[in-house]
Amino acid sequence: MSIHPLPPPKEPTGLGRLPLARWFLFTGAVATVAFVAGAVVVMLMIARTRALRPRPDVAEQLGQLNAALIVLFSVLLACGVGLTVIVRYAVLKPIDQLTEQVRTVAAGDFDHALHVDRPAELAELSSHVDAMRGRIVSAWRVASDQAEELRRSNGELEQFAYVASHDLQEPLRKVASFTQMLEQRYGPQLDGRARQYIHYAVDGAKRMQLLINDLLDFSRVGRVTGEKTVTDSGAALDRALDNLSAVLEDTGATVTRDELPQVRGNRTQLTQLFQNLIENAVKFRSEEPPRVHVAARRRGEVWEFACSDNGIGVEPRYADRIFLIFQRLHPRDVYPGTGIGLALCRKIVEYHGGQLWLDDTGPGGGATFRWTLPAAADGGSTHGEAGDGDG
């Protein structure tokens, strides 16, 4: 298995920059020089003392001292050579081996095992590091398998939604229009019950057309209308209000707003988002004329928006359910709709890297939906300016 290499290691600083081998060479050279100098000085001193013709017993002592020093220096030399060999083969070489293995793993070959036999400390260290590597690799493998599986099933689902919503449109249109033609042409010859049946069939077909169109819209998010630019959220709200002007006028709704910021997003989808939320705020109104307020506040890298209304509100226990596709809390004859609006809103917000949720209902009742969107690079607040060039 090979994945992206890790970033290059940090450069060491200070005296620690020198590799261990060089430290040993340096110390070894100093010790050798000191050793040779020491030996030469001692021999010179003994030779000078001999030149002074000492007494025979002193000369004999000197001879013994000379022999003892030669043995001592030989032992020291043998120890020095032995230490060098041990450091070279038992420390530096295994460290080099381990470094080379770690370098291969860091270069991207995460299946490369780490193992050195000696010394005991390095063998233990390498086996712990290798166990960690193994564990991380298998967790990564499971996660990437799951991600791949999710991507595949997501793709299949999107494909299914697209096929269901696109290819079924035509046969359904046929069913609806031929049933209507049946009613128009043979209506007078049919009795009341037959006409009622035809009415149900047409009604069912029309409803299915609505559902299918909604599904098509839903499956399009992020697939067709995906381009994200710096967009003025105030302008997106304006467009949504424009699209809803008739229903806002009919219901006497008032929509107020804070100063709305520029965000990074897709203007069509942001308009859809505002439109669905405000449409809901007006549709699920209480006895009073609807009052809707759209607010925004900066939270680090994102803007948090809120859309609050004075309508019938949503019970907290349905806070998750209302975001599921085709899930509704009321019968269709009381509040019309297919139940896709909030699912679409959530998909749009998540496509932008944000989150959408139902906030706890405030003291004034009604419902408050909150969502986050990434701030545009400058993060400026430009309500009223045609920031995205769409007026």
Which residues contribute to the site for Mg ion (CB under 5 A)?
Answer: 280, 341
Residues 6+ apart with CB under 8 A from 288: 310
Task: Choose between 260 and 367: whose C-beta lies nearer to Mg ion.
Answer: 367
Task: Choose between 120 and 334: whose C-beta lies nearer to ligand ATP.
Answer: 334
* Residue found under tokens 């003392």: 49
- The CB density around residue 355, as the number of other CB atoms within 10 Å, is 14
Q: Which partner from the list Mg ion, ligand ATP, none does 25 bind, CB cut-off 5 to 8 Å by kind?
A: none
Q: Which partner from the list ligand ATP, Mg ion, none does 176 bind, CB cut-off 5 to 8 Å by kind?
A: none
Q: How far is the CB of 355 from ligand ATP (least distance, A)?
A: 17
Task: Choose between 84 and 213: whose C-beta lies nearer to Mg ion.
Answer: 213
CB 373 within 8 A of CB 233: yes
CB 370 within 8 A of CB 350: no
CB 291 within 8 A of CB 329: no
C-alpha 370/C-alpha 179 separation (Å) is 44
SS3 content of the chain, % helix, strand, coil (to 5): 60, 10, 30
Task: Choose between 169 and 338: whose C-beta lies nearer to ligand ATP.
Answer: 338
Q: How far is the CB of 151 from Mg ion (least distance, A)?
A: 29
Q: Which partner from the list Mg ion, ligand ATP, none does 376 bind, CB cut-off 5 to 8 Å by kind?
A: none
Q: Which partner from the list Mg ion, ligand ATP, none does 328 bind, CB cut-off 5 to 8 Å by kind?
A: ligand ATP
Q: How far is the CB of 386 from ligand ATP (least distance, A)?
A: 29
Distances (CA, A) of 138 to 117, 127, 135, 144, 331: 24, 16, 5, 10, 50
Q: Which partner from the list Mg ion, ligand ATP, none does 116 bind, CB cut-off 5 to 8 Å by kind?
A: none
Report the residue closest to Mg ion, judged by CB: 341
Q: How far is the CB of 277 from Mg ion (least distance, A)?
A: 8
List interacting residues with ligand ATP (CB under 6 A). Answer: 214, 276, 280-281, 283-284, 309, 311-314, 322, 328-330, 337-343, 367
CB 353 within 8 A of CB 371: no
C-alpha 103/C-alpha 100 separation (Å) is 5
Q: How far is the CB of 326 from ligand ATP (least distance, A)?
A: 8
Angle at 245 between CA 389 and CA 369, to 5 degrees: 80
Q: Which partner from the list Mg ion, ligand ATP, none does 110 bind, CB cut-off 5 to 8 Å by kind?
A: none
Q: How far is the CB of 185 from ligand ATP (least distance, A)?
A: 33
